[in-house]
Amino acid sequence: MLTPYLEACPLVAILRGVTPQESVAVAELLAQCGFSMVEVPLNSPDALDSIRRISDKFGNRLLVGAGTVTDIRQVHEVAAAGGRLVVSPNCDPAVINETKHRAMVSLPGCCTPSEVFRALALGADAIKLFPASMISPQAVKALRAVLPPVPLFAVGGIEAPDFAAYIAAGVDGFGTGSGLYRPGMDRTEIRRCACKMVATIRGLTAEVVPN
């Protein structure tokens, strides 16, 4: 389920603080610029309502779900709202298991090799390297050397100027938040940032030559 969205655009838009009233309009701007994955953190205002509205509007056009998911009750609520993506700040076996039981995409947060391998053994679809500002490109390269083929997303303190170094180290995608969207941000500015970010990532990934 993750692969076509990752191939379309390897960026997860993190809409922390978005309200239900603006959620669909913001998601539309992102989709127009090329984004294919949207995360609404559960500590946003009425996050489940935003997820429901975006899911109802876009269906399979966008992979939509929740971030900051830390227990199985929240997994149930995200599924009921139409979300298909579960992103966590940590590696919680119960959350991963329930996410996969519901045939949703599991993206747990990991910061150590032990957490990464534990998450993969539990069936995670991809790994959120978090906080990525603590995980250097050199560390990513060393980790990638011992991992099976699995998508790695760098999330947390990483913005467009950092993309090139992390891609060269073996990262497949990124989660991007404040550099893309902040509450009260003008929609023209959201569009400008989104389109610029998509152009940047597409330019960099086009330069990657498969082994």
3-class DSSP assignment, residue 208:
coil
CA of 137: how far to CAs of 57, 83, 121, 170, in Å? 37, 31, 24, 8
CB 181 within 8 A of CB 18: yes
Beta partners for residue 64, in sequence order: 38
CB 147 within 8 A of CB 116: yes
Can you state the angle between helices 47-58 and 72-80, rounded to 10 degrees?
Answer: 40
Amino acid at 66: A
Kindly name the residue from 22, 128, 141, 159 that is annotated as catalytic: 128
Q: Could you confirm whether 159 is annotated as catalytic? A: no
CB 143 within 8 A of CB 172: no
Q: Could you confirm whether 39 is annotated as catalytic? A: yes
Kindly name the residue from 39, 77, 159, 207 that is annotated as catalytic: 39
Q: What angle do CA 178, 181, 184 make, to 5 degrees?
A: 110
CA-to-CA distance for 26 and 168, rounded, in angstroms? 31
Amino acid at 178: S
Active site residues: 39, 128
